[in-house]
């Protein structure tokens, strides 16, 4: 059985396509992993990818991706996959999500892969539970929106009725360097977030965790709240989530899962600013 705490990319024995139970999507999310070499341009301290390395992905075999996607959709929609491997309360296909083991937009084939997924979903008339087109979601650190190909791919996701989940874990240069382990000016992050919001409905997604038994730093938290408030009219809302799966990065022993009431307290402060917030401890 799939569980929300196991997002093993190899569970289906395929190269690019993998199923997970997504707490945030609230059902089965069919993942697309373009970063099959476990390489990413960021190295977040809470990342659950084993043997993570810095860099970009290898070339994507689009024909194989299409074959895997068609075959797995057939199992999910017409086969017994849901009955065999999904708990009863999660037996709904929620989305196709570009996520995987690195930054999806770092793939030169990202735009083509988006077009491929849209084409297959349309051809097979795959729908969400409410009868609307099945959403395509991009889970991204947003760092590569200066690339035209990335923006075109996101625009097509938006045209299909999908959305972007844009990573904002901290909102100071020091906090970003500590948590995401990249040198990034928050103003540049804000620019890319607004670029994304112009192309497709965009949510901020934020991982909150404690370190060495302490809650997140209040100064960092206030900077984050101010950052979100500065873009609140342009985004759909905020997904707050905690560490639910095993952290696979050095220093994991210093991180700990925050209690739900801590996330609730942060969510309350966001809601007081008029934002829509979801919480997944």
Residue-range domains of the chain with CATH: 17-279 (3.20.20.70)
Whether 109 contacts 62, CB under 8 Å: yes
CB-CB contact of 5 with 244 (8 Å): yes
Task: Kindly tell me if the per-residue pLDDT of 162 is higher than 70.
Answer: yes
Band (pLDDT 50/70/90 cuts) for residue 201 is very high
Contact 233, 277 (CB under 8 A): no
Pair of tokens at residue 258 = 């925050």
Note the pLDDT of residue 11: 64
Residue 90 tokens read as 């999660």
Question: Please, is 169 exposed, middle or buried when counting C-beta atoms within 10 Å of its C-beta (0-12, 13-18, 19+)?
Answer: buried
User: How many CB atoms lie under 10 A from the CB of residue 94?
Assistant: 21
Q: What is the pLDDT of residue 22?
A: 78
Using a pLDDT cut of 70, give the percent of the chain over it.
95
How many whole angstroms separate alpha carbon 219 and alpha carbon 168? Answer: 16
Give the 3-state secondary structure of residue 4.
coil
Residues 20-76: tens digit of each pLDDT: 887 666 789 999 999 999 999 999 999 999 999 999 999 999 999 999 999 999 998
Half-sphere exposure of 51 (CA within 13 A, CB side): 4
CB of 92 within 8 A of CB of 131?
no
pTM: predicted TM-score of the whole model, two decimal places: 0.93
From the CB of residue 230, how many other CB atoms can be counted at a distance below 10 Å? 15
Q: CA triplet 67, 70, 75: central angle to 5 degrees?
A: 125
- Asked if residues 104 and 166 have their Cβ atoms less than 8 Å apart, the reply is no
What pLDDT shows up at residue 82?
A: 85
């Amino acid at each position: 059985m799939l569980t929300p705490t196991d997002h093993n990319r190899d569970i289906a024995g395929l190269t690019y396509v993998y199923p997970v139970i997504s707490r945030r999507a609230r059902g089965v999310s069919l993942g697309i992993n373009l970063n099959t070499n476990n390489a990413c341009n960021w190295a977040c301290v809470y990342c659950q990818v084993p043997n993570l390395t810095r860099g970009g992905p290898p070339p994507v075999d689009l024909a194989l991706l299409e074959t895997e996607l068609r075959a797995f959709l057939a199992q999910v929609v017409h086969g017994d996959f849901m009955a065999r491997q999904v708990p009863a309360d999660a037996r709904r296909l929620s989305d196709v999500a570009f996520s995987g083991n690195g930054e999806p937009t770092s793939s030169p084939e990202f735009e083509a892969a988006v077009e491929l997924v849209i084409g297959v979903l349309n051809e097979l008339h795959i729908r969400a539970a409410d009868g609307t087109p099945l959403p395509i979601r991009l889970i991204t650190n947003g760092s590569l929106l200066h690339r035209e190909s990335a923006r075109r791919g996101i625009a097509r996701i938006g045209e299909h009725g999908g959305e972007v989940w844009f990573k904002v874990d901290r909102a100071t240069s020091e906090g970003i360097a500590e948590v995401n382990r990249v040198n990034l000016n928050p103003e540049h992050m804000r620019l890319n977030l607004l670029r994304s919001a112009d192309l497709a409905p965009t949510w901020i997604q934020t991982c909150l965790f404690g370190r060495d038994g302490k809650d997140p730093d209040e100064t960092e938290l206030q900077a984050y709240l101010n950052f979100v408030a500065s873009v609140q009219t342009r985004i759909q809302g905020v997904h707050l989530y905690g560490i639910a799966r095993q952290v696979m990065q050095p220093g994991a022993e210093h991180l700990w899962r925050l209690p739900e009431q801590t996330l609730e307290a942060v969510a309350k402060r966001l809601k007081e600013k008029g934002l829509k917030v979801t919480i997944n401890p």
